[in-house]
Amino acid sequence: MKKTPSIISLSNISKEYVMGDESIFSALSEVNLEIHKGEYSAIVGPSGSGKSTLMHIIGLLDKPTRGKVIINGHDTARLDDDQTSKVRNQFVGFVFQQFNLLNKLTIKENVLLPVAYSREKLDFDPEKRALGLLEKFDILSKKDSYPNKISGGQQQRVAIARALIMNPQLILADEPTGNLDTKTGNEILKLFEDLNKEGITVLLVTHEPDIAARTNRQIKVLDGKIVEKYND
């Protein structure tokens, strides 16, 4: 069976941090990984395993000490800061455990926030798309409310809508159910599953094996290395 194209390719990625005057802490070591279009995958590992560092590098929030990050065939090391920001804004939508919504902005304004950072002419009506996403996630009635006035599950739905506003190729979700009760967490995971069925590539980062098991592919990280792959 022919594989779909790779949208992310990590080649011999290492990430090191200088601790104090001389000691070096290795967060990632010689990681090789490919994420293909349309995947629903999970990076899973215990706290301190390196999975968050791996997520930051995949999402272009951080740069590796060594190795290459290839996005859609392009070496990101050749991009300057402005170009990197542009690719990140258009390529990936982020969903975080803490929601990261701004309480001074309305729900609709939070969803539209990534548009404010885009310097490109958009081929869609941002406000129409924002309202459509809020309706899709059953929170349109909250569009003029503020984040601190709605529930945690509703806040995460807003965060997912915000992640989708720029039509990204990848949704990168870091412990997206960590601050939610079990019932609400399951509802959020169902949203990701439905989005993936629509063709969106979804990559979850989690320390919980039962959440990772709901995805089609699990990538296990331990001590800065990918130690086991499932369904690859």
> What is the structure's pLDDT at 232?
43
> What is the structure's pLDDT at 2?
55
Query: Strand ranges (DSSP E) for 45-194?
Result: 66-71, 74-75, 92-96, 170-174
> What is the structure's pLDDT at 231?
43
Give the pair of three-digit tokens for residue 74: 């392009």
* pTM over the 0.75 mark: yes
What domains, with CATH codes, occur in the chain? Answer: 39-63+80-229 (3.40.50.300)
Give the pair of three-digit tokens for residue 207: 């320390």
> What is the structure's pLDDT at 83?
87
Task: Compute CA distances 186 → 31, 89, 106, 205, 210, whole Å.
Answer: 31, 28, 26, 15, 11
Per-residue pLDDT of the chain (232 residues; tens, 9 = 90+): 456 779 999 999 999 988 776 667 889 999 999 999 999 999 999 988 999 999 999 999 999 999 999 999 889 998 888 888 888 888 999 999 899 999 999 999 999 999 987 777 778 899 999 999 999 999 999 999 999 999 999 999 999 999 999 999 999 999 999 999 999 999 999 999 999 999 999 999 999 999 999 999 999 999 999 986 544 4
How open is the CA angle 45-49-50, to the nearest 5 degrees? 110
Local structure of 219: helix, strand or coil: strand
